[in-house]
Every structure is written in C-alpha cells, then in structure tokens.
Structure 1
Amino acid sequence: MAREAVLHTLPLYEMARMRAATCPRRDAAGRFAGDGPASTLRWVNQITHTRELLGPRHRQVVTPNNDTLYTNAWLDLSRGPLLLEVPDSLGRYYVLGLLDFYTNPFGYIGTRTTGAGPGRFLLHAPGWQGRVPDGARAIACPTDAVWMIGRLLAEGEADLPAVHAFQDGIRLSRADGQPAAFAFDVAMRPDERPGEARRFAEVVNRALRDYPPDAQEAPLVARFAQVGIGAGCEAGALGEAQLAELAAALQAVLAELDVPAEAALGGGWSLPVAIRATFGAQTLQRAQVARNYIGALGIEEAMYVIAERDGDGVPLDGRQAYVLDFPAGGLPQVGAFWSLTLYDKRDCMLVENPLQRYSLGDRSPGLRHEADGGLRLHLSAVPPADPACRGNWLPAPTGPFYVVLRLYIPAAAHLDNHFAYPPLRRVEVGQ
C-alpha cells in the first residue's frame, strides 16, 4: 500500500516542486511576492519567458529541449477564470501545453489545434459556470492549478528577436481584463527532492486537499490514508512505523524509476510518454514521466522517443562511441520538426561541450548526408577522427547518457508504431 501511495502521489510532489522552481519571485512591475530570499511566496497567473535557447547552465527543468524558447505560467483558477490572448504566430510553430496538477496534458493552444492566427481563450476551473467573453473559446481545466508550458520554435540565434516579439504578445488577465497575478505560497524550496518521508507526506497531502482527485480515482486514493497519505491526513501525526514504511517505499520507488526503460520500440528505443490527454490508470508511467520528463506533451503534439541503451541492450556511455544511421527515405516524419538531443544520465541535463552543441535535427546547419540521402550521426565524448564527420557529431559526457528523439506533430507512421527506429550502434572510439 505504501508503494502504491508513493507511485500515485509522486507526480503531485514533482508538480509542487516545479511550481516552486518556475513561479516568478517578481511580478511584471518588479515587485517581490515575499519579503526576502527565504520566502516561499511566488506570483501565480504571471507569464514568464525564456529569452535564449536552453543550455547546461539552465537547470530548472529536467530533459529540456534546445529547439524552442519556453513560455511559462502557473495558473490558479480558484478565484475565477482567466483570459489568455495569443497573437498571430505568422506561421511559426508553437504550442502552449496545459497540464493539470496530476501531470495530465489535457489541452493545447497552438499551431496544430487552434491554428497559427490570433486567438482568445477562457480557462476555467472544474464546475465553473458563467459568461464566456465575446470571441473567446472556453477551455475547462480538471484542477484549479494548471501549468501552462509553451514551446515556440526558434530557428537559431538570429531568429530570437522575432520569437521575443511573439512572446510579448501573449497576455493573461482576469475575464474582466484586470490583472490576474497574485502572491501565492508554494510552500516549498525549488531544490527540494523527494527523500524524507514526513516531508513527502506533507507536500502531497496538501496537494490532495487543494486539488482533489476525480471521482474515478477518489476511492483508490482514499485507501492510502492507512499509510498516512490523503487529504485528511496530517504528516505530523505519522507514527514511527508508518514513517518507516513510507520511507522504504519512497526509496524503492525512486530506485525503480531510475532503471532504464524497456526498449519497447526495438533497437534500444522506448516511448515513455505514450498518452494523449490523460494517464488514466497508468500509475507507473505517470510516475516515470513526472520523475524524468515532467512537462511532457501528449503524443499527438509531440513524441519523445528515448534511447538509454544501444542496439545490443547495453546502457549508453560516452566513453564508448556510437553511430545512428537513418537510411535513405527513413528520416523521421513530422509536421513541424524533429531533433535528437543528448543528456547526462546522472542529472537529466544537457551536456557542457566546447561546441555548445546540444542537439541535431532537420534544421541543423552543416549536416552532411550520405550519397544516397541517408544520415549518420555520431555520439561520443571524443570527436570522430574524420573532420568531415564532425558537423554530425553530438558530444556526450564521459559517463552514462541518454538521447531523446523529439518529433513535433508526428506523422501516422510514428503514431501507429510503424516507423523503424534505427539502433544506436557501438563503433571504435574516434571512428
């Protein structure tokens, strides 16, 4: 029961931690939400933007992409609905993904779903009834708290000013047009990791009180009260035996989630996020995604095809060298773009390297294709010996790593699992 409770509520802990890490301390006028650095007050209903492509020094989100700028907001709908206005993207690919507090990617605003033109959207809490402003589209949200995490495609550094202008046109207000931001106690430090049992219970019990599970899950969650997890449970009242059980379950679950995923797609590849709008009863997958890939979108918008092992089933390690051969006519099929990004397995972050190259894909300048149209990518800590191959080299750490093949608006061949993903093949170092 303790293991089941931890698996089910770990995503709530991770969402609370991400809210603490990504909610701004200052509002648009520069005012601090709290009275000092130790304060856990943050601004909700306040949009923030990254203005540069992410690199190794950006450490707020695990497994970040290096293809888009992020636009971020934590929405609190408990005081009423919010009006989101988006300008014309002028053909640029973008998506504003909406996640409820249980990490379900329940909605999207963007190129694929609402088009590239301007739009107005009214986001409201469960059960809300009222008038939708003229010209706005209503979006019902499953929980009062929603993480809006946007990806806006950037075609390199020269394209950033145009992306910034698009970001600046995204506006959030109350339904009556008044400012929506207010100070909110996230009750966590951004660097808190799930480790101590009583603290884990404190965080997830608050989340269960603030954001109750839906009617289908409520009976399941109610059973967790016997191990001290539930909306009516107080972490401070946990006995020593309960704490010991919860601590053991927490450590076992965290260790389980660190084991490389099964290569269900063949060739060392897996698809850890294989949902559309909700995880439903897939509790283990929800916990795996929350632990390692939180903020991931559903597969119709983006697929994250991951390799932690080579084609022989051996974990990837940068002290070895690998090639990835896409055959002629066998490149990824997408409606927006694809990219291959490499991460250090030890912290799920991008890898520092002198080239400042963190991904390769269909928009990478200088890629060399084979004579027949195929594409060979090189992955290792040591560059390929042939200088002509170094434009196709993705630097790795001198230790364990994994790669993510991102497919934005994947074609049917990927959605239907008919695409043949080539294996990562080990070669001589320096080859």
Structure 2
Amino acid sequence: MIKNRRELFSVSWTCASLAGLAFLAGCASTPASSPKSTGWIKNEVADSYVFGYPLVLMDVAREVANGTDPGQAPVNTLRHAQALPPVGTGRPATPGIDTLDSTGWLDLSEEPVIVVLPDSHGRYLDARALDMWTNVVWSTAAQSGAPAAARAAGVRQQTIAFVPKDWHGNLPAGAKRVEVSTRYVWFTARIQTNGSRDITAVRKLQHGIRVAPLSVFNGDTRVATVVTRPMPSDMSAAGGPPAKVAALDAAGFFGRLAQALADNPPAPDDPHALKILGDLGVTPGAPVQLPAGASDAIAAGLAEGHERVASAPTNVLTANGWSWFGDGVGNYGPDYALRAYAAYTQPGIGTKDDEIRATVAQDSDGHALNGANRYVIHFAPNQVPPVRGFWSITAYTKDGALGETTPPRVAVGDRNGAKRNRDGSLDVTVSAARAKAANWLPAPRGDFQLVMRLYAPKPQAGDGSWQPPEVVRQ
C-alpha cells in the first residue's frame, strides 16, 4: 500500500514550544532551590536541528566546493563532469550514469547572476536552481507555458537572471527574472549521455552553458573572466558535506546555522522557528549562547535530531519495498521533516516534475538483495515507468557505489533498448552472474540496492497512482 500522509513538522514543534512556555511561566513561582526541567531544551534542540539541517548542509557544501584549491572553483563558475563515474567503492553515493552533470554556486550578494542555456537540439537537458533551504526556485521542468513534451525533448536557448530580493535594475533582453531571498543559489544542469562514445557531444553542450554576474555579462572587463574546472566530489561522497555536518557538535552546528542565517533568511512563514532558535541562544549573525547547565539535554536533543533527519516521514511514498518522493518535494513550506530528510537522502533533489528516484534494497519477501541470487522485476503493460523523457534502473552496492560488474556501468531502461514481451509487459532480470535474459541488469556480488530514475516523469509517478513492481527472487 502506498503511504502519502502529510506530516507537518510544526505539530511537534508546537508541542515543544508549549512545554517551553509552561516552563517559563512557572519560573516566577518556583523556589530558586528547585531544580529546573530541561525537557523543553531537548525538544527544541531536536526541532531546531531538523529545521536548520538543510541550510547547514548547503552552507558546508558551498564551502567545500568554492575556492582555489584542487577540485574547487570560484563562485559563479560551472564545474563540469567530464566522464562517467568510475566503478568501485569510496565514490559518490548512487552516481547517475545516464547524464553528465554541471554544477556551480551563484553569489547574488552584489548583483544578479545570469545563466544562459544553449539549444540542446532535442537532447534531454534538465537544469534547476535551489535556494539555500533546498527549495527549487527555478527549473526547466517548471517553466510556465512550456509544453511537457517539448521539455522532455530538450530545451531551446534561454536566459535566466537570478536576482537578489528587491533588486531593481535592467536585465538582458529576454531574460527570465527569478527573484531569490538567499544570498547563494545552487545551480545544476544534467545532460543525457548515451555512453562513453557520446561524451564529446555532451561536453560541447556543457561548454555552451554560460554563467556570469550581470556586470561581466554586460562586458565589464574589470571583473575576472569566468572559467570552468572539473567537477569535485559529489555532495554525497564519503567524507563529504553530510559527513561533515553529522560530525558537528551542538555548538558547531548551531554556530554554523547562526552565521548562515545572516545571509540566507528563511521563508516568511518561518518566524516561529526563529523564535525557538532565539530561546536556545541562536541569533542570525551572532555568536551562539546555548543554555548553560543543560549539556545532557542538548546532547540528547542533538542525537534525536540526527535520528529524525535520517528517518523517512510518512509522506514519503512507499510500495513493494521501493520508496520515493512525491508531492511536496522541492517546495516544502513548513514541512521541515520532509525537507530535512530529502536533503539528507537525495541532496539537490528537484520537484516531482523534474525527476523521480525510487530506491529498493529488499526483495518481495523482505530479504536483502544479494548478487548471489537472481531476481526478476515484472512490469505489467500499464506499470512501465510513466515518463515523458526516459527511465533507467541501476544496481549499486549497499554503500551506493557502482560495483565491479561485467559489462561495467550497465543500466536497463527504455533509453537502452529494453525489450518488451508480446503482451506489452517488461521483465528485468537482476543478478551478478550473466543471464541470457533480454533485459539483464548486472548486480554487485554482495548485498546491493537498486535505483530507478524517471526523467521528466508524468504526474501519476508523483501522486501515488503509479507504483514500481516488487523485486522477486527466482
């Protein structure tokens, strides 16, 4: 059964807040010698951790990516993936092998930043921009007036201007204005590739994407020319930003959050969250002063925050062992639980109109998937992934790396010529040992997971009316 019940984080927050107010109201009549409850501190630390996690993660990721050291690049600069990801362990988690990515961090502190996308000539190109709270502020899939079929078939040349809030001035002719309330924007573009022989064509399109501050775009030679550099490790790489955030103690996490809040305020519907942070001594741009004498409560709240960020809320879609994001992803409003979990599990995820990524690590009997076994995924004629673009299934180790398979880097999907049965159904066979089946997907030899990607999905993929089939052990 598919689960899609919206779980508003504000409910638990309100309970914690009432507990805190009750505590404060009782202070006037409580003798000085009576011990003070710290339960409200634990609750508010946990709530605030979930609230602030996406901003802290994005801020750490930006710091790791920007600079002049090897693997880094300046702001307002795109870094391009130049080849398909390598096999083996210790690499980015569940790297895509259908596209080559370009990514960069835009700094809107002084002026707008202009992005020009080239005509992709029918090749699938997905681009999106996220604010520092991981909300999608613009994407190719969400462009108003663009027919869905046209979006799936590629993009036309277009100019987008990412503009600081309340900025006034002249933009390039024809540029689409996108106002952003945070200082930084994370921009990504993914271009479909048909394997290693297709890399040259993809690189040509990559270098056709232009990113420049407005003054540079208008020809101000006093500002340094924007350059391109190889893409550094993915945000989900081992030891990457999520690991760095997880290693922060309470003072480090909330100190980072306070500093990031100064340039990246939350949405207008978040004033209550700032009030709770203020109760904990966390003020935008100021040094953090967490409650004294409450180290145990703070540590317990931090541990609970870690657990809640990594726990799927009830409005994540689940069926037949698979899980994926549907409505609400990419534009979260006050659903802080979904926002934090999405940032933790799929950093940079777009809306349900951009891409859907379903994952599974167990078979229909609830056992872990293992390459020593043979599995079949049977799609009924009306159950094939509903997309306007294309879809694929890839096998990874349980840690998210591409396994040492033969042939390497193989995905099964309609782009790879997946063959249907006479009745229109489709069977995918998954195993480490080579199979004679038409749609064989090589798997790692040990425990593994499957990721199904739907590019330019149709609405039923995100509203719960479609579900992927179970993985059956043969």
TM bracket, shorter-chain basis: 0.7 to 0.9
Map of 1:45-64 to 2, 5 A cutoff? 45-56=76-87, 62-64=93-95
1:296 to partner: Cα distance: 0.6
State the distance in 2 between where 1:285 and 1:43 align: 31
Q: 2:127 aligns with which of 96, 103, 107?
A: 96
Tell me, which stretches of 5 or more residues in structure 1 are unaligned? 26-31
- Aligned-residue offset at 1:173: 1.6
Selected match of 2:416 from 349, 364, 374? 364
SS state of the match for residue 83, structure 1? strand
Alignment match of 1:2 (pick from 28, 45, 49): 45
Match of 2:425 in 1: 374
**Structure 1 partner of 2:433:** 383
CA distance in 1, matches of 2:391, 2:436: 23
More helix by share: 2
Partner of 1:28 in structure 2?
A: none
- Counterpart of 2:280, as a letter, is V
1:192 counterpart (214, 220, 244): 244
CA gap 1:284/1:318 in 2 versus in 1, 3 angstroms: farther
Aligned counterpart for 1:153 among listed residues 172, 192, 200:
192
- Residues 278, 92 of structure 1: CA spacing in aligned structure 2 closer, same or farther, 3 A cutoff? same
Give the deviation of 1:421 after TM superposition.
2.1
Partner amino acid, structure 2, of 1:377: V
Question: Judging changes above 3 Å, is the alpha-carbon distance between structure 1 residues 227 and 395 closer, same or farther for their aligned structure 2 residues?
Answer: same
Say which is worse superposed, 256-265 or 59-68, in terms of deviation.
256-265
**Quick check: 1:126–1:142 contact (8 Å CA) kept in 2?**
yes
| CA distance in 1 between partners of 2:407 and 2:72 (Å) | 39
How far residue 110 of structure 1 moved from its aligned partner, in angstroms, is 6.4
Per-residue deviation, 1:79: 0.9
Instruction: Report the residue type matching 1:90 in the other structure.
Output: H
The answer (yes or no) to whether the contact 1:350–1:358 under 8 Å persists in 2 is no
Q: What is the rounded CA distance, in whole Å, between the counterparts of 2:374 and 2:56 in structure 1?
A: 37
Distance 1:274 1:212 in 2: 24
- Aligned partner (choices 103, 108, 117) of residue 156 of structure 2: 117
Deviation at 1:126, TM superposition (A): 1.5
* Distance in 1 between residues matched to 2:75 and 2:89, nearest whole Å: 21
* TM-score normalized with structure 2 length: 0.76
Counterpart CA distance in 2 for 1:274 and 1:242 is 39
Q: Structure 1 residue 107: deviation in Å?
A: 0.9
Offset of 1:332 from its aligned partner? 1.2
| 1:44 equivalent in structure 2 | 75
Encode CA deviations 1:346-372: one digit per residue, 9 max, x unaligned: 3x443343432253211125x454443
1:168 aligned residue: 207
- Equivalent-residue separation in structure 2 for 1:252 and 1:317 (angstroms): 32
Matched residue SS, 1:363 = helix
Q: How many equivalent residue pairs?
A: 404
Q: Which has the higher strand share?
A: 1
- Does residue 266 of structure 1 match 2:319? yes
Change (3 A) 1:118 1:279: same
Which whole-Å CA distance do the structure 2 matches of 1:14 and 1:320 have between them?
Answer: 38
Q: Partners of 2:309 and 2:298 in 1: how far apart? A: 16
Which deviates more, 256-265 or 283-292? 256-265
**Partner Cα separation in structure 1 for residue 366 and residue 428 of structure 2:** 19
What is the identity percentage for the equivalent residue pairs of Structure 1 and Structure 2? 26
For residues 315 and 259 of structure 1, the distance between their equivalents in structure 2, rounded to whole angstroms, comes to: 19
Structure 1 129/307 Cα, relative in aligned 2: closer, same or farther at 3 Å?
same
* Cα contact 2:380–2:426 (8 A) shared by 1: yes
Q: Check if 1:302 corresponds to 2:350.
A: no
1:29 alignment counterpart: none
Q: 1:342 to 1:130 in 2, by over 3 A?
A: same
Name the CA distance, whole Å, in 1 between partners of 2:226 and 2:199: 30
Q: Output the amino acid matched with 2:442.
A: L
Long gaps (5+) in structure 2: 1-43, 228-238
Deviations 1:331-356 (A, max 9, x none): 1121111111333343x443343432
Paired with 1:274 and 1:312, the residues of 2 have a C-alpha distance of 28
Letter in 1 for 2:279: Q
Rg larger for: 2
Residues 151 and 127 (structure 1), Cα distance of their counterparts in 2 relative to 1, 3 Å cut = same
SS at the partner of 2:140?
strand
Q: Distance in 2 between matches of 1:343 and 1:368?
A: 22
Q: 1:17 to 1:354 in 2, by over 3 A?
A: farther
Partner of 1:296, secondary structure, is coil
Q: How far apart in 2 are the matches of 1:111 and 1:218?
A: 28
What amino acid does structure 2 have at the position aligned with 1:6? Y
Letter in 2 for 1:163: V
1: distance between equivalents of 2:458 and 2:256? 40
Aligned equivalents of 1:363, 1:318: Cα separation in 2: 24
1:204 corresponds, among 257, 266, 276, to 257
Separation in structure 2 between the aligned mates of residue 252 and residue 90 of structure 1, nearest angstrom: 49
Matched, 1:74 2:105: yes
Structure 1 residue 406 and structure 2 residue 453: aligned? yes
Map residues 119-134 of structure 1 onto 2, 5 A cutoff.
119-134=158-173
Following superposition, the deviation at residue 279 of structure 1 comes to 0.8
**d(CA) in 1 for partners of 2:444 and 2:72?**
38
Deviation string 1:372-395 (CA, Å, 9 cap, x unpaired) is: 343222334x325xx313851231
State whether residues 358 and 395 of structure 1, in contact with CA within 8 Å, keep that contact through their aligned partners in structure 2: no
Shifted more, 213-222 versus 44-53: the winner is 213-222
Tell me, what secondary structure is at the counterpart of 1:84? strand
Greater alpha carbon shift after TM alignment, 404-413 vs 263-272: 263-272
Q: 1:344 to 1:239 in 2, by over 3 A?
A: farther
* Counterpart in the other structure of 1:311: 364
Which structure would you say has the larger RCO, counting Cα contacts within 8 Å and 6 or more residues apart?
2
- The CA deviation string for residues 85-140 of structure 1, in whole angstroms up to 9 with x for no partner, is 22111111112111010011121136976662211221111121222222222111
For the Cα contact (< 8 Å) 1:94–1:111, is it kept in 2? no
In 1: Cα distance, 2:57 partner to 2:271 partner: 20
RMSD: 3.1
Contact 1:96–1:151 under 8 Å retained in 2: yes
